[in-house]
């Protein structure tokens, strides 16, 4: 078998692309429909990660196949009625379009769902579209419909090939068959990239806010309580939308100052419904039994730089309390009627048993979670 195509047959490289894409796309479609019924958990997320990595690989192979078709010659056309030639051309163009569109739409769906995309744990890929529930639903439906259309067209393509072979008795199928099974062997090897580690994010904890000898009220519209972690080696972020702080603070009256904050952990929002729902389960925040978390400050001390302080507090999540110091900056307005409190702390999720069972592996879920607080306060 020659590498290049000849007047009579397709060459080895063309066959390699053909059968690799055929095995890969059909297998990936079947795998995609199968994994959609998996229960939420590490196995599901790992299956999705493998599906996405293989999809990106097949997208690259489809582009390479098109590039090769541009330089490789085509075998001579076999005699056939004009309508058959037109149908064959239309089917091939549609197949090529779907080979590109299905993985690209899947990539866009992943982006709109605000999931990270990492190719086999090696390369982080950028988002194609911004996070959006509406775009997520659109691209999800488009991805599934595209996969179904790809399967239907493939069935038509296969039926036509067998029609040529069994009824017309021409060489249409024979000249694309792999020699000695070598192409199928290489195709299987191309998709056999199996074992890899992927981190995925845990959720964040809570933190404190600060009043003084003066009691401060929260300007919720200009405040935020955020968290960030790693998922499949890529950073994700979110926020808690509902929290109630009691802040009494004055830089000149640290001994009289006090904070406490109660957080509705079910208000977590990372712009991804699947991730947020998972974070509320018993293996994570267990909101059914522990609907709130709290941070209570026992004392304050001044930092080494003017305007900076450290709150010594106790963070309680899921019935477990841990001493957590929170460095923060206090920025009052010139008239003293408002102030901004900003701080950040890195938490170990294992200290609160966030992510137990199958989620405990740090290779899958990042161990550290960064919690950020930015509070706009008024008197």
- Over residues 80-115, the pLDDT tens digits come to 788 887 888 888 899 889 889 999 999 999 999 888
pLDDT digits (tens, 9 = 90+) for 128-168: 999 888 999 999 999 999 889 988 988 888 888 887 778 87
pLDDT at site 372: 96
pLDDT digits (tens, 9 = 90+) for 212-239: 368 999 999 999 999 999 987 888 999 9
The four Cα atoms 210, 212, 215, 221 give a dihedral, to 10 degrees, of -30
pLDDT at site 186: 45
Handedness of CA 95, 97, 99, 105 (dihedral sign): negative
Q: How confident is the model at residue 179 (pLDDT cuts 50, 70, 90)?
A: low
Q: Is the pLDDT of residue 172 over 80?
A: no
Crossing angle (nearest 10°) for helices 12-35 and 133-163: 130
Collapse the DSSP code of 123 into the 3-class scheme (helix H, G, I; strand E, B; otherwise coil) and give the result.
strand
Domain residue extents for the chain: 12-190, 215-378
Mean pLDDT across the chain:
85
Q: Is the pTM of this model over 0.75?
A: no
Token code pair at residue 313: 């507090």
CATH class (in words) of the domain with range 12-190 = mainly alpha
Q: How confident is the model at residue 1 (pLDDT cuts 50, 70, 90)?
A: low
pLDDT average, residue stretch 250-267: 93
For residue 331, what are the β-bridge partners? 340
CATH hierarchy code of domain 215-378: 2.40.128.110
pLDDT at site 209: 42
């Amino acid at each position: 078998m020659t590498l290049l195509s000849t007047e009579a047959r397709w060459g080895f490289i063309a066959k390699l692309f053909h059968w690799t894409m055929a095995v890969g796309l059909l297998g990936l479609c079947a795998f995609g429909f199968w994994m959609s019924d998996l229960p939420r958990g590490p196995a599901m997320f790992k299956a999705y990660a493998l599906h996405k990595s293989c999809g990106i690989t097949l997208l690259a192979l489809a582009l390479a196949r098109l590039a090769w078709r541009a330089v490789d010659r085509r075998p001579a056309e076999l005699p056939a009625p004009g309508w058959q030639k037109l149908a064959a051309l239309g089917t091939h163009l549609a197949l090529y379009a779907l080979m590109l569109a299905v993985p690209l739409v899947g990539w866009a769906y992943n982006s709109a769902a605000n999931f990270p995309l990492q190719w086999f744990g090696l390369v982080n890929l950028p988002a194609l579209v911004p996070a959006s529930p509406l775009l997520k639903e659109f691209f999800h439906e488009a991805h599934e419909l595209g996969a179904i259309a790809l399967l239907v067209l493939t069935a038509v393509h296969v039926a036509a090939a067998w029609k040529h072979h069994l009824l017309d008795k021409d060489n249409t199928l024979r000249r694309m068959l792999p020699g000695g099974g070598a192409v199928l062997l290489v195709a299987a090897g191309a998709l056999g990239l199996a074992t890899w580690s992927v981190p995925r994010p845990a959720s964040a904890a809570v933190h404190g806010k600060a009043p003084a000898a003066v009691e401060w009220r929260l300007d919720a519209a200009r405040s935020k309580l955020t968290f960030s972690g790693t998922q499949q080696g890529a950073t994700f972020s979110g926020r808690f939308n509902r929290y109630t702080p009691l802040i009494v603070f004055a830089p000149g009256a640290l001994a009289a100052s006090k904070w406490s904050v109660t957080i509705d952990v079910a208000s977590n929002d990372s712009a991804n419904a699947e991730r947020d729902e998972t974070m509320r389960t018993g293996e994570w925040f267990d909101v059914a039994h522990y609907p709130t978390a709290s941070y209570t400050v026992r004392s304050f001390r001044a930092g080494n730089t003017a305007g900076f302080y450290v709150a010594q507090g106790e963070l309680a999540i899921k019935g477990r309390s841990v001493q957590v110091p929170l460095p923060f900056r206090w920025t009052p307005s010139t008239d003293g009627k408002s102030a901004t409190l900003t701080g950040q702390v890195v938490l170990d999720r294992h200290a609160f048993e966030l992510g137990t069972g199958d989620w405990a592996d740090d290779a899958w879920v990042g161990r550290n979670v960064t919690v950020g607080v930015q509070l706009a306060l008024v008197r």
